[in-house]
Structure 1
Amino acid sequence: MPLQRVHFAEEVPEVFRASLQAIRRELDVPAEFPAEVVAAAIKAAKNPRLPELDRTDLDFVTIDPPDSMDLDQALHIERNGTGFTVHYAIADVAAFVQPGDPIDVEARRRGETLYAPDKRTPLHPPELSEGAASLLPDQVSPALLWTIAVDSSGEGTDVVCQRALVKSRAKLNYAGVQKDLDAGIAPESLQLLREVGKLREQRELERGGVNLPIPDQEVVTSNHGWGLEFRAPLPVEGWNAQISLLTGMAAAQLMMNGKIGILRTLPESHDDLRRKLENTAKALGLTWPANTSYAEFIHGLDPKVPAHAAMLAACTVLFRGAGYTAFAGVVPEQPEHAAMKAEYAHVTAPLRRLVDRWTLEICVALSAGAEVPGWVRQSMDEIPKTMDEADRRAHAYERSIVSMVEAGLVADEIGALFDGVITDVDEREKTRGIVALSTLAIEGRVTAPTPLPLGQSVRVKLVEADIAQRSVAFELVS
């Protein structure tokens, strides 16, 4: 499920620090890396297993947030007749990590990188994730190089995945790339990123897929206290994400054709979920026409509009229930990711997500017509369980942080009245449910002396806003 990221415009206030520490203790978020893991990472950084193929001739660049150093992906696109050739280099973690070594054991314990406003908890030691294994500029790096042929409609037609040495020419950020594209001075490869990205977005809309442009939330202070602002993703972030999705779909096809792999799967959503989201849209003053699909509604939202940004954040529940399906010999009966309306696999973030090391090894073997390594076959059934647990912790971490911030936003308004809409009602106790406020991007528990009116506009009184407990509660007034 896509994650909501919360940032603070300034240093994290003291009032939140103790709560963040408590969240980490409750969820058993890993602390510093053990000494033996750091020592192994330092040794591995000096002795990677390097491939023979050299593609340092390609002018790769990375595009990430300015402060990112764990650079998983580097991009180069060129025109090929009426279509395109997408070169996508992915950090080769397996060049540094051996199955069963201290780095591998610790990574299996962590599962994925975790993010909080005051710190980042990485999957791999920084000596690798922000150093030798990262696709840093002017550094010759081992990578899994995806070469994907894309036709004039944006459809992928052929794919090769192979190990290669690559060299990024520049560490770019989204704002800078968007500025250069808007000014017409971006290099050809980035102009083609926009062209291919738009084609892929159109393909996504046609198949009914959903790719949420989740806005970051930033806490700001003013004379009136706390405030929550949404930072809308730039268009280039969506185009860049489309290249990652293109690669993940190509990986899934390789796996299905080879009858071995680990897919990211999601069952179809149920009617109750649509009703809840329709009620949230109503609370935010948005119209969701009866015959409009999830995809059509979401594609019509503008992340720059606060109410739309809040709706996009609420729509992350569409991805709830996603998991990993490992298979060998027989393709799963339900291989599709329902929100994307396509088969899909995670392969583009091995520095930050454990499963990608397995899926990349499968894909590079299948692409070469070689046997999938024994260590992958022997352990691939364990990875879905490991990743499901890691995902649960990451989502709990995210929800706890968002709830903490929401409590802080209204902590000084106990007794205040708010307008909202009842978005959910407890099936057993109809007097308990969830209310979404109309003026703030906040949901909270609500109680009433009589059954709550699902989907109806209501007025509620704030009766609890506890930062330490990360809880916000209301009582129905009318």
Structure 2
Amino acid sequence: MPGRPVRLPAPTGDPASRAVAEGLDALRAEVELPVVYPDAALAEAEVAAERGPQGAHAPGDRTDRTDVAFVTVDPEGSTDLDQAVHVERRGTGWRVRYAIADVAAFVAPGGALDAETHRRGMTCYSPDGRVPLHPAVLSEGAASLLADQVRPAVLWTMDLDAHGEPQDVHVERALVRSRAQLSYAQVQQRLDDGTADDLLRGLADVGALRQERERERGGASLDVPEQEVVQEDGAFRLRFRATLPVEGWNAQVSLLTGMVAARLMLDAGVGVVRTLPPADPRDVARLRRTAAALDIDWPADLPYADLLARLDSHRGPHAAFLREATTLFRGAGYRAFGVPDAPVPTGDDAEHAAIRAPYAHVTAPLRRLVDRYGTEVCLAAVAGRQVPDWVGEALPDLPATMTRTGRRVAAFDRGALDLVEAVVLAPHAGEHFTGVVVDADAPKDGRVRGALQLREPAVVAPVTASGDLPLGQRLEVRLDEVSVPHRRVTFVAV
């Protein structure tokens, strides 16, 4: 799920804090993040929020499921709550109910709010806050699945067998009410100390089953740890917040729903799926060098997915490796089909290489535009009707919209991390470090440029040399340049 690339401590007014704040403001302007919501879009959102839980723009009856004891499980302090879950035993298998915020109930197709969400594409999380896809009156209010509030939702009911494989699926519009807003830490504590109820124990059991099925498919999920900045003795330091087992189990419910959604769309012959080509061998080789730099044993015959199962994000080098492993996801995109000049994909063309199955985004509509459209296709498929006109008209352009807005958010994420790393390293200009060369370009103008993985702090930074940059070998370097305003850090070989 979307999240902050790095988390900062509360601002203190010291020079380093001011430099980060000013740098983030400059970065938002540089990548043209649409920070301010237009008045017309805000007005539409406020009117929609006042209409109440039945919604105004999603015709049809809603089933009352407020009797189901849903809970939300999210990072501490979250307010934009897309999903609520309920898990119970059903014979030898399981029934998983997954309620997803029904954003279509609040966004009128073709209106000012709709246009603004297409301009934004997705929520952008920053070290100092977020730039939301939808106004807060919806994303943190009327549309969010907040505890003890009746909310419109799209309810996925998935019956699983004893192995965690889906046997029957139903999708409907409903009214739901979450009983509790739980954090990952709270759920993990209850599971660990034996005070968890049947729902939470079921979530853990189903999540673990789905992880087993994932490994059997050859799929791989990345539990990417959040990077935190802490202040110690007046200086900034980087560290990783370890992920908890429940985060992986909870993510498996979302992955399951996305896989089921993709299958519904492909069978219906219309929709939009998330795609990812197989990893480039050069990226895999680079990641192997990163593993060596961090003293992580990766035997030549061990598949990447099996390596991930051995890693522990509580350990700093493992956490750093997991963050760098996201480079294998280059080339991810979206594919619309069932529209002019877009046939239904089959085989590898329909598959997400990391998941090793077809997959679609439908579980985070408050934070990602494409989910609203994928959800409508699935509702239509289950009901045996045509997709709404507003969905069919938007599908052809959705992949380009998500690619454009995704690149903007990715540029901000990378820039924010570069900025924080520059602030952390600024006091160490001129000092010597040891790292491992993980990438190198061909010589140019008598210099070789590449990338260096440091173990402490666990960052990847540019390095230059007048001679060779031996891939995979340890190298002593000097921190030659640090520019916080330019978010630039450069090492030179010594």
TM-score by length of 1: 0.97
Which residue number corresponds to residue 362 of structure 1? 377
Which residue number corresponds to residue 43 of structure 2? 39
Q: Is the 8 A contact 1:213 1:312 kept in 2?
A: yes
For 1:180 and 1:11, locate their aligned partners in 2 and report how far apart those are by CA, in whole Å.
33
Tell me, yes or no, if structure 1 residue 336 matches structure 2 residue 348.
Answer: no
Which residue number corresponds to residue 474 of structure 1? 491
Partner SS state of residue 148, structure 2:
coil
**Alignment map for 1:297-308 (pairs within 5 Å):** 297-308=307-318
Shift of 1:53: 1.2
Identify which of 464, 468, 480 aligns with 1:447: 464
Please give the root-mean-square deviation of Cα atoms over the aligned residues, in Å: 1.4
Tell me, yes or no, if structure 1 residue 462 matches structure 2 residue 479.
Answer: yes
**Alignment map for 1:391-430 (pairs within 5 Å):** 391-427=406-442, 429=444
Q: Is the 8 A contact 1:111 1:390 kept in 2?
A: yes
Tell me, yes or no, if structure 1 residue 275 matches structure 2 residue 285.
Answer: yes
Tell me, yes or no, if structure 1 residue 113 matches structure 2 residue 123.
Answer: yes
Shift of 1:52: 2.9
Partner SS state of residue 381, structure 1:
helix
Tell me, yes or no, if structure 1 residue 90 matches structure 2 residue 100.
Answer: yes
Question: Quick one: which amino acid aligns to residue 35 of structure 2?
Answer: A
Question: Quick one: which amino acid aligns to residue 378 of structure 2?
Answer: C
Which residue number corresponds to residue 148 of structure 2? 138
For 1:186 and 1:283, locate their aligned partners in 2 and report how far apart those are by CA, in whole Å.
40
Shift of 1:428: 5.9
Which residue number corresponds to residue 433 of structure 1? 450
Q: Which runs of 5+ in 1 are unaligned?
A: none
Question: Quick one: which amino acid aligns to residue 121 of structure 2?
Answer: G
Which residue number corresponds to residue 376 of structure 1? 391
Deviations along 1:7-45, one digit per CA (max 9) or x if unpaired, are 123327112111001100100111221111111111111
Q: Is the 8 A contact 1:2 1:214 kept in 2?
A: no
Question: Quick one: which amino acid aligns to residue 479 of structure 2?
Answer: L
Shift of 1:3: 6.0
Identify which of 255, 269, 278 aligns with 1:245: 255
Question: Quick one: which amino acid aligns to residue 295 of structure 1?
Answer: A
Paired residues in the alignment total 477
Q: Which runs of 5+ in 2 are unaligned?
A: none
Partner SS state of residue 119, structure 2:
helix
Question: Quick one: which amino acid aligns to residue 353 of structure 1?
Answer: R
Question: Quick one: which amino acid aligns to residue 398 of structure 1?
Answer: D
Shift of 1:159: 1.1
For 1:261 and 1:244, locate their aligned partners in 2 and report how far apart those are by CA, in whole Å.
18
Question: Quick one: which amino acid aligns to residue 359 of structure 2?
Answer: Y
For 1:183 and 1:119, locate their aligned partners in 2 and report how far apart those are by CA, in whole Å.
33
For 2:35 and 2:344, locate their aligned partners in 1 and report how far apart those are by CA, in whole Å.
39
Q: Is the 8 A contact 2:4 2:125 kept in 1?
A: no
Which residue number corresponds to residue 360 of structure 2? 345
For 2:119 and 2:291, locate their aligned partners in 1 and report how far apart those are by CA, in whole Å.
39
For 2:226 and 2:21, locate their aligned partners in 1 and report how far apart those are by CA, in whole Å.
20
Question: Quick one: which amino acid aligns to residue 127 of structure 1?
Answer: V
Deviations along 1:177-207, one digit per CA (max 9) or x if unpaired, are 1111112111211110000001111111111
Which residue number corresponds to residue 222 of structure 2? 212
For 1:225 and 1:6, locate their aligned partners in 2 and report how far apart those are by CA, in whole Å.
17
Partner SS state of residue 64, structure 2:
coil
For 2:37 and 2:307, locate their aligned partners in 1 and report how far apart those are by CA, in whole Å.
44
Which residue number corresponds to residue 26 of structure 1? 30
Shift of 1:438: 2.6
Against the structure 1 CA distance between its residues 338 and 157, is the aligned structure 2 distance closer, same or farther, given a 3 Å change threshold? same
TM-score by length of 2: 0.94
Q: Is the 8 A contact 2:278 2:353 kept in 1?
A: yes
For 1:226 and 1:18, locate their aligned partners in 2 and report how far apart those are by CA, in whole Å.
16
Partner SS state of residue 98, structure 1:
coil
Question: Quick one: which amino acid aligns to residue 370 of structure 1?
Answer: R
Question: Quick one: which amino acid aligns to residue 316 of structure 1?
Answer: T
The alignment-based identity, stated in percent, is: 50
Deviations along 1:388-419, one digit per CA (max 9) or x if unpaired, are 01111111111101111111111011111111
